[in-house]
Structure 1
Amino acid sequence: MNDLLGLFDLLEEEEKSEKKKPKKSANKKQGKTSKKEKKYALPIYLGAGHLRYLFSDENEKEWSEDMLRIKLGEVFGELQSLSYEIDVIEGELNQDIVSEEVNTFITIYINYTELTEIEKVQFPVEIRLGEIVIPLNNAESFEEIQEILISEYPEYKDCKFHYLEKERYLLPFMKANAPQGKVYSLPVTVGYLNLKETYTEDMFAELEDTSATEDNIRKIFLKSYPEYKDCGFAYQEEGNLLFPILSKKSSEKPNKISLPVVVRAGGFKLNIEPSDIKGHSSATLEEIRKVLEEIYPEYSKERTEMIYDEKHFIIPVLKSSRKGVEIQAIKPGWKHEIYTDQYGDRWRKETTPFGIFSVNLSQKGSTQFEFLIPKIPYCLLEKIIEIFEAEPHKECAVQIFYSPDTKQYELHIPEQYVTAASVMFYRNTEKELEKILVMDIHSHGQYPAFFSRIDDGDEKGIRLYMVIGNMDQKNHTYKIRAGLAGIFGVLEMDEIFEKEGKLCIK
């Protein structure tokens, strides 16, 4: 039962319990601040890449988060329509950056959504980079827009755009793509716009050669811009430039590993060179495992866990090791494992016929997911959108199954009871015995896409989950996650669906 009212604590039982609580005296209530209400001591300095500003208020000593967000939107208009998280950065500010006294140093992590259809843009628009504004009357493609931007700011090569339809703003942003473990020749330029710094050999006295790692470079960059303590980088070989990407610390595995890299096991050490990966300068863990398997066949995909160490080496772990606990499932293709990795962390791993779900129990991490079969065809998502758009003011639920016999995905519409704010559907147990339930999807009608508290309580199965919202608008919103016994991990559209066609969804 996906009851949205549950999100706002309007359940009847809670209302009754509130009425039964003894009333506190007015004197006790006065002057007290709710524990949930966060306060920020003034003056407040925002440091978020090119978005930088010092806030002060002669009449107030502190601001609530609501007030802070209002003030942020007044200075940077695009923040009024963007979703972002505020974080307090510890440590002293560089006096060369801010000479005034500051009580609170904050940064923001903006949730950008890549614009994929140029047809959605209503011209004229403005390309916005904080105080930098570039008017744009018309463009036929994203490439044309990028050319205009990089003619003035070349560091934005290969950037993506977030579009604010109401304001007609195009907001450029970059995605981290620098391979793990890569070393950079010196001098190297770090930053973008007016945040650029060039680092030379004399700044890395502890290094033996004329190159530096991301960690070496990040430590120096933090002295000027502390908000980048957990940043990733987009690397541009032309100009030897590292573009810092604001991000929170993540436990996710690196997507690419810089080559060469050493694979270390108990009985051998293997150097993986670019020539082993078709001349590429980086490779995924799976690509490296395939090279390993050619030499040592026991390291098959089904049996091997590839673990990357920040010291730039890889440890292949055979899952049949005695450190693990394996429970045989009754259904073919299903396997449950609890094991301890070489760092002493306990993991839970669930192998299903369609994919692998894993979570680090010791670190209380998020669920990671990997497909074992092809991604879901885009045409199924198109059909689902059509179903949800038929009644845009009501919630609705569908399911995606996979048939091992035909090796095809199937769309199933379960028997359900729907309202404007909830949907309750009935499971088809016979179908779930015959075929594999891969994904539950429900709409939020006219509400935005999010997973409610009720969703968190309902979605305890080992499968994928998706919610689509704003069905009454031209551009719908979506959220996708992998679920393992109530532990979730956020996923993106292209991780689950094959990229085909175009949809008004973001």
Structure 2
Amino acid sequence: MSDHAQQAGLFSMMGTADAQLKNKKPAAGQAQTQPQAQKKGKGPKTFPKISVYYAGNTIDLPRSGMTQDEVHAFLEQDYRELAKEHSELIHDEKRGLLIAYVKGHKKGASAAAFLEDAVPLTVLPEPPEPHSPQRRLFHVLADDGVYEGRRTQVGTFAARVPSPLRAESGFELSVAKPPAALLAEIVSAFRASPRVERLANVLYRGGGRLGDGHGSYEVHWPDQDGTPVSVEAPGLVETDETFTVVQIHSHGHLPAYFSDQDDDDEARTGLFGVVGRCHEGIPEMVFRFSVNGLYGFASAAEIFAESRRGELAAISRDLRPDRDANRKEGIRWASPRR
């Protein structure tokens, strides 16, 4: 296929503004007139609600009566090069379009930061279809970050969006850690009933506004029905002053791991734990946090405060959030929910 044929195919697929420019003709019986830019008194010239042609795309203005400065500001949100100081607008009255173009080019090294201001992005799970309204500019989530994609007459381009932030999975409590003594109380109760599963909530009861440091902790045992392989309990109505910091359930004689049923039940954002092998002298435990069904493992020491060194180790054997170690213990890393 020739370069010309490839370009023609791309124009056809994208529905480019070049074709729209050629085909934008008045219907039979209509005069060949289009909305005119208006200038009232000595104020700035304003444009009707028309479209802007740039880089093979037709961009609709959000409203009528926009000044040239307002049009530049609108376009600059998606096209940095169309800032007022770098570009010009030509009003093609015959076709009823504004033609945007870059006034000139100046290249050279610069120490300026690429991203000066943070802007919200709508990130898609996959690139939009060629005829989608988002085809000219889109952001796609990849395994190594967010990529910005743009389509012009020349083709489709994509580059990873730089970020000054380094994000890691984790959590940070807005209240003090609950004492390890509460975990000891819970594990003791689990060991006393190793043949059935049980569930407990570590409740924070605040003395004022959320996280003001004047609250207290307690173990809450809801009404529940337990079997050797399951436990059911009603939910808790939470407020800013009374809420669950971590929910823990037992697996009786079975190992400590998060099952498929646990994944379904623990989509709520928060902290969760499982205590297994409750019939043994020192049971095993594992903790994780959930972010709307996206999970990450945590250690007991990240959640509970020890009053003395080694207190947590004496309560239960903690399965650390190490990927290989957890796999050996049969712990499954839950997949992100769709």
Structure number, greater radius of gyration: 2
TM-score, normalized by length of structure 1? 0.28
TM-score, normalized by length of structure 2? 0.42
- Higher strand residue share: 1
